[in-house]
Structure 1
Amino acid sequence: MFFLWPEFVWLMLALPLLPLAYVWLLRRRRKTAVRYSNIAVVTAAAAGRHWRRHVPPALLLLALGALLFASARPMARIPLPWARTTIMLAIDVSLSMRVADVKPTRMEAAQEAAKLFLRDLPKNVEVGLVTFAGSTQVAQQATLDRASLVAAIEGFQMQRGTAVGNAIVMSLSELFPDHGIDVGDMTFGGGGSRRPSRSLDDKARQPKQITPVKPGSYNTAAIILLSDGRRTVGIDTLAAAKMAADRGVRIYVVGLGVVNGAAEMPEGMSIYMQLDETTLKEVARMTGGEYHHAGTAEKLRDVYGTLGSSVQVQTRETELTGLIALLAALLAITAAGLSVVWFGRIG
């Protein structure tokens, strides 16, 4: 713990004077009561020895101490959910996701796990959805509307190819809209016959130059990447991961399906699909995230549950002034309330 205004900590030295002043007042009151012959006054003075008589002043003393402590503006590192957190779900929708080695199929298992993940996630967390195969698109921009996200998850359309790097870059472009990240320019080199001509305004819009930060240090956002294969088209996966690492964004990777070998397509046609675990693990390592292999539907659900908790709670420096001031107010109100209930007055 540290203080933004440490010079105010010296005010705490005044606290021991308050109990001394209270004891002095009690003794002075007893001496005054002895001077009178009125029995009622003496009885009232004797009642001051009752333990309840000291509770309201003690609470008021604690309230004053809390206010003096709060005046120094204490800061502490405590685990708290961020007021605004954004999670980008990047899900592979390539044709290999139709394979049934994860029941009922990889795609259906991934869809159900993603919906359970959304259900268990705190309501104040924004979630965006990116789908990728040969091409990449934002299926749903970051939103708090869980119904829209579920509808987007249920409407996946599978395609050929696997552009893992594009999915990462597309997620970053959603998280940092002012950085000028253009997936098309990175994929096709900013021009050529495969790109439509651009206006002068588009040509003037250059990617923002950033100063790299520590990987994993950007705690208000994260990317969860699910893939069952290896990159076949698009931006290099590790180059995309480097972009995320430079911005401090963690990538949590879920590898799904066959690690080594072949699998059967529903039509009976064999297709060789080897999960590129080496690259996916490196993506997680570079960005300060985690890699999980989910070989079954149940394991996939467990992985999503783990990710839901790990990307939520973050340790951060938080000012405690407001909380301590609120505690002081409650103590003062309690002291006044007890004084009124027990003695019919405040004092």
Structure 2
Amino acid sequence: MTDAVSRLPVFSFLWPGMLWLFALVLILATGYVWLDRRRRRAPVHYPALKTAGLAIQGGAPWRRHVAPALTLLALSALTVAIARPQAVMMLPSRIETLILVLDLSGSMRAQDVKPNRLRAAQQAAKVLLDAQPAAVSVGVVAVAGTAAVAQAPSRAREAVATAIDRLQPQGGTALGNGLLIALTTLLPQAGADAERLMNDDMPPPRKSRPSGNAPGGLASPDDDAVAPGSYASGAIVLFSDGESNAGPAAIQAAELAAAHGVRIYTVGVGTTEGVVLSADGWSARVRLDEKVLKQVAEATGAEYFRLEDAAELKKVYRALNARLAFDKRSQVEITALFAALGALLAACAGLLSLWWFGRVM
């Protein structure tokens, strides 16, 4: 969840001042209790009325309270409706483009995830690819010592799957460059900032959400500022063990993506214990660096997932696919819901009263 959305109240009102009408509901409830007590005292002075009252109630004194109680609940629901309630709800994100970023570094040959980290990542990427609606375009970015687009965004699933299968381990890891390439593939207008970050290895000026702290209550930052995670038309998914040794830092690329509202979901492939990997005359223990991947996801308003073994594949896929399909949170007015509830309760009160007593209330 993005910081902006997390600050939204779960339930609020557009016209909170109208909630004073609850005082009228309380007065009506108090009046009903007073009248009911007065009615119950009457048979003490006039015993004949008690017999007549039981006959009218059909031997069930509690029935006379049902219709008034439903009426009071109906008035309460209608009062809430008058105040125009709104709630934060999860809505379909309507993703149009998804960019898959796969880490091809030498450490991805480690076999702490079978058959190895890269193959596990490729399998997860293809499962996610198959789950996307036909209207979603999917692209692939390969990351090693440098980064490049292995497949431009396309709706041809076979072409994208073939591009994923062709990827082979290489030397070096430039996660930051890979994320920047993915960002510019998704949003070409971010190209200038991404190029400066890749060339200068310095973070570009970040756009921030206007805070309203400027004199006179006006926002002073850029007018085109967006909240992290607010770009609903596309997303990036990174499959990596988190290790990087070239180019700008992954968190810098994540901050630029966040400035454009783009979410970067990260899937950690490997184990935190790691394994000793030997290749080309050297040996080293390669571990899953969850810290970097979590930072990238958090900075962009996305989420981190961990793929430790083949058994986790379906679990990760289901959770990730659910986030991609329904990860747009927004405040939605739900006045109609309370208005309908009030009308239904009022109708039930009238029908029950007519059925039991032959009159409406």
Give TM-score scaled by structure 2 length: 0.59
Could you tell me which amino acid in structure 1 is paired with residue 75 of structure 2? L
**Residues 261 and 210 of structure 1: CA distance in aligned 2, closer, same or farther (over 3 Å):** same
Cα deviations by residue, 1:68-101 (Å, 9 ceiling, x for unpaired):
122112345x5x4233264945231648598472
Task: Decide whether the 8 Å contact of 1:255 with 1:280 is kept in 2.
Answer: yes
Could you tell me which amino acid in structure 2 is paired with residue 211 of structure 1? K
Where does residue 14 of structure 2 map in the other structure? Answer: 4
The answer to whether 1:328 aligns with 2:349 is no
Cα deviations by residue, 1:196-246 (Å, 9 ceiling, x for unpaired):
xxxxxxxxxxxxx97324998435655431125766877764442230233
CA RMSD of aligned residues (A): 5.3
The whole-number CA distance in structure 2 between the counterparts of 1:328 and 1:111 is: 53
The whole-number CA distance in structure 2 between the counterparts of 1:262 and 1:155 is: 26
Task: Decide whether the 8 Å contact of 1:339 with 1:345 is kept in 2.
Answer: yes
Cα deviations by residue, 1:237-289 (Å, 9 ceiling, x for unpaired):
4442230233454534334359675356xxxx789896794765654565466
**Residues 185 and 68 of structure 1: CA distance in aligned 2, closer, same or farther (over 3 Å):** closer
Cα deviations by residue, 1:173-218 (Å, 9 ceiling, x for unpaired):
466x4x712389828999xxxxxxxxxxxxxxxxxx9732499843
Task: Decide whether the 8 Å contact of 1:228 with 1:257 is kept in 2.
Answer: yes
The answer to whether 1:152 aligns with 2:167 is no
The whole-number CA distance in structure 1 between the counterparts of 2:351 and 2:130 is: 43
The whole-number CA distance in structure 2 between the counterparts of 1:12 and 1:345 is: 27
User: Out of 220, 238, 241, which is 1:225 matched to?
Assistant: 238
User: Out of 82, 93, 101, which is 1:91 matched to?
Assistant: 101
The answer to whether 1:104 aligns with 2:100 is no
Equivalent position SS for 1:84: coil
Cα deviations by residue, 1:124-174 (Å, 9 ceiling, x for unpaired):
x97854332441255546x9xxxx668734652326575533442344346
- Alignment gaps of 5+ in structure 1: 32-41, 191-208
**Residues 287 and 275 of structure 1: CA distance in aligned 2, closer, same or farther (over 3 Å):** farther
Task: Decide whether the 8 Å contact of 2:140 with 2:151 is kept in 1.
Answer: yes
Task: Decide whether the 8 Å contact of 1:12 with 1:68 is kept in 2.
Answer: yes
Where does residue 28 of structure 2 map in the other structure? Answer: 18
Where does residue 113 of structure 1 map in the other structure? Answer: 124
The whole-number CA distance in structure 1 between the counterparts of 2:314 and 2:281 is: 27
Could you tell me which amino acid in structure 1 is paired with residue 255 of structure 2? K
Task: Decide whether the 8 Å contact of 1:187 with 1:234 is kept in 2.
Answer: no
User: Out of 176, 189, 195, which is 1:180 matched to?
Assistant: 189
User: Out of 255, 272, 293, which is 1:242 matched to?
Assistant: 255
The whole-number CA distance in structure 1 between the counterparts of 2:53 and 2:176 is: 85
**Residues 11 and 283 of structure 1: CA distance in aligned 2, closer, same or farther (over 3 Å):** closer
User: Out of 310, 316, 339, which is 1:297 matched to?
Assistant: 310
Could you tell me which amino acid in structure 2 is paired with residue 330 of structure 1? L
Could you tell me which amino acid in structure 1 is paired with residue 17 of structure 2? E
The whole-number CA distance in structure 1 between the counterparts of 2:242 and 2:283 is: 10
Where does residue 71 of structure 1 map in the other structure? Answer: 82
Cα deviations by residue, 1:284-325 (Å, 9 ceiling, x for unpaired):
565466666645334565555565677767876554433322
The whole-number CA distance in structure 2 between the counterparts of 1:114 and 1:95 is: 17
Percent of pairs with identical residues: 35
The whole-number CA distance in structure 2 between the counterparts of 1:21 and 1:83 is: 47
Where does residue 179 of structure 2 map in the other structure? Answer: 168
The whole-number CA distance in structure 2 between the counterparts of 1:270 and 1:301 is: 36
**Residues 46 and 167 of structure 1: CA distance in aligned 2, closer, same or farther (over 3 Å):** same
Task: Decide whether the 8 Å contact of 1:111 with 1:153 is kept in 2.
Answer: no
**Residues 337 and 181 of structure 1: CA distance in aligned 2, closer, same or farther (over 3 Å):** same
Q: How far does residue 20 in structure 1 lie from its aligned partner after superposition?
A: 5.9
Q: How far does residue 45 in structure 1 lie from its aligned partner after superposition?
A: 7.7
Give TM-score scaled by structure 1 length: 0.61
**Residues 331 and 149 of structure 1: CA distance in aligned 2, closer, same or farther (over 3 Å):** farther
